[in-house]
């Protein structure tokens, strides 16, 4: 940041590094209604400026982590290598291939509450930004196939495999709509400070919310394994 003085008005150039923040001009009543009044400025009477209200949509933040829940495939694979020889004094110690392909399916939905005053185009951007946080490319229905089991399942054992996913139900992300005043040059002699400068940040604002289920990875899982009954 640097600053330089022209007349009695201090001009500041501000660099915003957060690429996931969107800032745009809105009617002044949005700042006035918070309430948030601009700070007075000192300037040459021949230089004319106006206050401009700006709105910024921040990056999504997790505000409710949700309830961890494991969901599983509708079907499972049971591997059973029990036989009469398992009762012998020296039972077999062979390894067997026991695998199959299972399908994992899941559905979810999202519930939104948008901050007041968002234009339709901004609502679309905020909605996509919030949904993306829930993983799986914003999908609400998935069907995934995967191989479960073992290529070296031991003799005289019974085991069960399935596909599972760890989820977080009723998780919630939020985007904060912040406001700030800038000062914009209108007209005046060449000695006036020109351009748009930062004036004041407002501490109040509005939130947009998205509630839904965060999906993790689908994994093949050994549910249980034990000796023959």
Q: For the whole model, what pTM was predicted? A: 0.80
User: pLDDT class for 16, splitting at 50, 70, 90?
Assistant: very low
Mean pLDDT of the chain: 89
3-state secondary structure the chain: CEEEEECCEEEEECCCCCCCCEEEEECCHHHHCCCCCCCCCCCCCCCEEEEEEEEEECCCEEEECCEEEEEECCCCEEEECCCHHHHCCCCCCCEEEEEEEEEEEEECCCEEECCCCCCHHHHHHHHHHHHHCCCHHHCCEEEEEEEEEEEEEECCEEEEEEEEEEEEEEEEEEEEEEEEEEEEEEECCCCCCCCEEEEEEEEEEEEEEEEEEEEEEEEEEEEEEEECC
Per-residue model confidence as pLDDT tens digits over 60-101: 999 999 999 999 999 999 999 999 999 998 999 999 999 999
């Amino acid at each position: 940041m640097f600053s330089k003085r022209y007349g009695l008005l201090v001009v500041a150039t501000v660099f915003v590094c957060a690429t996931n923040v969107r800032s745009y001009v809105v009617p002044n009543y949005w700042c006035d209604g918070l309430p948030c009044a601009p700070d007075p400025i000192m300037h040459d009477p021949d230089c004319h400026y106006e206050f401009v209200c700006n709105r910024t949509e921040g990056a999504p933040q997790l505000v409710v982590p949700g309830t961890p829940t494991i969901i599983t495939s509708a079907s499972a694979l049971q591997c059973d290598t029990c036989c009469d020889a398992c009762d012998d004094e020296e039972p077999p110690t062979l390894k067997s291939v026991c695998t199959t392909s299972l399908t994992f399916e899941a559905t979810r939905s999202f519930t939104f509450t948008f901050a007041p005053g968002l234009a339709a185009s901004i609502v679309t951007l905020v909605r996509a930004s919030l949904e993306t946080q829930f993983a799986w490319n914003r999908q609400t229905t998935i069907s995934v196939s995967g191989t479960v089991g073992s290529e070296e399942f031991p003799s005289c054992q019974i085991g069960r495999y399935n596909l599972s996913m760890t989820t977080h139900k009723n998780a919630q992300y939020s985007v904060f709509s912040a406001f700030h005043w800038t000062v914009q040059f209108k007209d005046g002699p060449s000695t006036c400070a020109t351009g748009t400068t930062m004036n004041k940040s407002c501490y109040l604002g509005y939130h947009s919310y998205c509630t839904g289920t965060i999906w993790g990875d689908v994994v093949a899982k050994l549910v249980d394994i034990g000796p023959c009954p």
